A and B are shown apart, each in its own frame.
Chain A
Amino acid sequence: MSALFSIAWRSAWNRRFTLALTVLSIALSTFLLLGVERIRSQLRDNFSSSVSGTDLIVGARTGSTQLLLYSVFRIGSATNNIAWKSVQALEANPGVDWVVPLSLGDSHRGFSVLATTQAYFTRFRYGNRQALALREGKPFAELFDAVVGAEVADRLGYHVGQKITLAHGSGELNVAEHTDKPFTIVGVLARTGTPVDRTVHIGLAAMEAIHLDWFSGAPMPGVHIPAEQVRKFDLTPKNVTAALVGLKNRAAVFRVQRWVSTYTDEALMAILPGVALDELWNVIGVGENALLAMSGLVALVSLAGLVSVVMAGLNERRRELSVLRAVGASLRHVLALLAIEGGLVTLIGVLFGSVLAVLGIAVLSPWLQAQFGLALTLGLPTPNEWLLLASLLAAGFVASLLPGLRAYRLSLADGLSPRI
């Protein structure tokens, strides 16, 4: 067998340029498959880590997906708000540990503005129950203080101490700006890979203050309340968009949920974030399957390439194989020779592709993070990725056996003298 190995090696070296192309094509498909799989799984991780440690999200009665979309992902807007009275009633519920009210609707240069309480910075959790951290400054304390997410700061070049103005409504082009009441950035949050990065946080009272002289989405004509005078008014919010709720005991979650949905003063609903996230993922998971199908096709095409490259080289190898037969290599040797080569070429290609994928993730992840907010992490292959690598190896080996079998049949029919 060692004789065969050395011949296989010399023969392969003789055809190294063709084989290098094959290795490259396998490496590229490995790279693509692993890359797509990594993006797919991390997309899902990023998604499901958007909120954690919150037992219930309470909002006006609507679809659970819609409530999740606007309260967690800042997508779309609430059809109805919930009254401050209801928030207070919720806080008074014996099962409830804490409530973080959320008020949405304004924006700053395309980023959502979230008005909330200071409790947000201690109670909100993402990922594996990680708390928010400030990479600069401190949480808001004064009325016109703002804390910006990491991406807001990076994209707009913000630092602590800068002044910003908010716009009414959402979108990049806002005519109605709260220019008379500028905010001071007092803190920048560390990156989380969640929608928090793309949010400007202010206090609930500040949200109330900038809308004192507004009515129905427009400044009231003839009324202007300057920033220095707003403190004279009652800045308790009249209503909020949604509330994050933590329970003293998670076992009470369905009892509190029922209490919320049967609350008589207004129509409310409470959702379990994990369940709602799964429901939402089922909807957008179609894209995930498309990604997976695409990478499968990529692998198929490159394996077809492998087969055709080996097939094309086969005529050239017919003589070689019949010489080997004439000096005593059996048909089994011939088959082994081709299988060894196919197996090694596939192995090298897959290894090379894996290295490429690791390098690619290392190089591209800061850019992906900045551009798409997608946090890719390096790490050992996941079980899914091991499975992918194994099936690539198996498929590559089988694909290289196809030309091997053809060569075997040719060699059987040629006898000792090839008819070329």
Chain B
Amino acid sequence: MTAVLAAESLRFTWPGADAPCIDIDRLEVQAGEAVFLHGPSGCGKSTLLSLLAGVLVANSGRVMLLGHDWATLSGAARDRTRVAHVGYIFQQFNLLPYLSVIDNVLLPCRFSGRRRDQASRHGTPRAQAEQLLAQMGLDAALWQRPAMKLSVGQQQRVAAARALIGQPELVIADEPTSALDEDRREAFLDVLLSACRTHRSALVFVSHDQRIASRFSRHVLLPAINRAARTGDSAGSARAPAP
């Protein structure tokens, strides 16, 4: 079977940096797989995620999402492809504070016809959103509340529901538990992992927190595959100055 995500001979250097930040021979994620991508800060995790999600495009080599090479797509086409196939969870501040919880979950369906159609298999997108929120352990009383009224832990679960609506083939989570305490972290992982299993979404979970590694079937230590990080100088993690 084809991999959901496949990177080959991937090299990326931030504009203005001397050394590459990413230099990876091969990285594949299969359908339904839950990958724990870890490593110390500065080893290029965020940059790799941007490359995998098609926000950044590699200088050489390629990243294929479901057989589409990001580099061959225009900016607008990458935006469309990303929302159709990828759910994304940030470290924090995932939600639009002025929308209700359920409207936040429904956001990808507003921008992507594919996500909307897939979500409609559960009746309506709203029905799936409610089902996902319930699965995340969020009480129905919270669904119509503005997102800013929720605690950080609740917000992260709403973000997970949003990433999963419309069954994207891939969910990318960028340190989503770093703002949570231990109990909340475990609870969050429980619901995220089981929801990804139910919806057969592959999960790339990035963290530097080794304590949660045991929850994942596959571990990838980024410095082990990223030659740029192994050379071990700070240039590898240098980021472009903000414009």
With beta carbons under 8 angstroms apart, the residue of A327, A330, A413, A415 that contacts B80 is A330
The complex places the Cα of A11 from the Cα of B50 at a distance, in Å, of 26
Given contacts A3-B111, A14-B98, A330-B80, whether A413 and B240 have CB atoms under 8 Å apart is: yes
The answer to whether A413 touches B98 (Cβ under 8 A) is no
Q: What band does the interface of chain B fall in when counting residues whose beta carbon is under 8 Å from A? A: 35 or more
**A412 → chain B, closest Cβ, in Å?**
8
What 0/1 readout, one digit per residue, does chain B (76-89) give for beta carbons within 8 Å of chain A? 10011011100010
Cβ of B239 within 8 Å of any chain A Cβ, yes or no, is yes
The answer to whether B90 touches A14 (Cβ under 8 A) is no
**A23 → chain B, closest Cβ, in Å?**
18
The answer to whether B82 touches A328 (Cβ under 8 A) is yes
Cβ of A320 within 8 Å of any chain B Cβ, yes or no, is yes
Chain A minimum-CB-distance residue to B241: A413
Q: Which residues of A contact B79 (CB under 8 A)?
A: 325, 328-331
Q: Which residues of B contact A409 (CB under 8 A)?
A: 243
The answer to whether B93 touches A327 (Cβ under 8 A) is no
Chain B minimum-CB-distance residue to A416: B55
Q: Which residues of B contact A355 (CB under 8 A)?
A: none
Cβ of B30 within 8 Å of any chain A Cβ, yes or no, is no
The complex places the Cα of A324 from the Cα of B98 at a distance, in Å, of 13
Grouping DSSP codes into helix (H, G, I), strand (E, B) and loop, the A interface class, with mixed when no group exceeds half, is helix
The complex places the Cα of A333 from the Cα of B80 at a distance, in Å, of 12
Q: Which residues of A contact B99 (CB under 8 A)?
A: 7, 10
Q: Which residues of B contact A329 (CB under 8 A)?
A: 79, 111
How many residues of chain A get a CB closer than 8 Å to chain B's CBs?
28
Chain B minimum-CB-distance residue to A319: B93
The answer to whether A417 touches B174 (Cβ under 8 A) is yes
The complex places the Cα of A267 from the Cα of B201 at a distance, in Å, of 105
Q: Which of A324, A417, A418 has the most CB of B within 10 A?
A: A417
The complex places the Cα of A410 from the Cα of B243 at a distance, in Å, of 7
The answer to whether B83 touches A10 (Cβ under 8 A) is no
**B93 → chain A, closest Cβ, in Å?**
5
The complex places the Cα of A322 from the Cα of B46 at a distance, in Å, of 15
A residues whose Cβ falls under 8 Å from a Cβ of B: 3, 7, 10-11, 13-14, 319-320, 322-333, 409-410, 413, 415-419
Sample 24 A-B pairs with CB under 8 A, ordered by A number.
A3-B110, A10-B99, A14-B98, A322-B90, A323-B93, A323-B96, A327-B83, A327-B110, A327-B162, A328-B110, A328-B111, A328-B112, A329-B79, A330-B76, A331-B75, A333-B111, A410-B242, A410-B243, A413-B240, A416-B49, A416-B50, A416-B53, A416-B90, A417-B46
